[in-house]
Amino acid sequence: MVLYVCTGNTCRSIMAQAVHEWTFGLGTALSAGLAAHRGEPANPKAVWALSQKEIVPHTRTSRPVAEALLAQAETVFGMTEQHAAVLRQRFPAQAAKVQTLGSLAGLGDIADPYGGGCEVYETALAQIMACVAAMVVRA
């Protein structure tokens, strides 16, 4: 199980979970947010960007990150170095599992598309897809 973490769990991490499950199968990933409120809907532009690649997110509501989620994950990916640092600080027992998603494909942080236009969501999704593709190469 892989856990993807961003800030609000309505854009990047939900897109990452959807791409991961599209690639590796349902039930292989989870997502959460450091500042998420349980049950917030996925951002419509994130869902739209996924639909452009014919990917359907099976998780469409947010959840806050919790120790139990990190404990069941083999790997935890923060969308930015700051996300990864906060995860390591809040959950030191799980720190060895935490890395940035961008590190898989030699990218930096996956920028937050929240508030941007559709093209910003497409860019974030393209970066996420490149990172998940790098997982396929490593598998």
Tens digits of per-residue pLDDT, 72-114? 999 999 999 999 999 999 999 999 999 999 999 999 999 999 9
For 30-53, what is each residue's pLDDT tens digit? 999 999 999 999 999 999 999 999
The whole-number average pLDDT for the span 7-14 is: 97
What is the predicted pLDDT for the residue at 136? Answer: 86
Residue of 106, 116, 110, 113 whose CA lies nearest to 137: 106
- Can you list the positions of beta strands (E) in 2-139? 2-6, 29-33, 75-78, 98-100
Q: What's the pLDDT score for residue 95?
A: 98
At 16-36, the pLDDT tens digits run 999 999 999 999 999 999 999
Q: How many separate domains does the chain show?
A: 1
Contact 58, 26 (CB under 8 A): yes
pLDDT of residue 139: 58
Structural domain span for residue 21: 2-138
pLDDT at 59: 86
User: What is the structure's pLDDT at 87?
Assistant: 98
Catalytic residues: 6, 12, 112
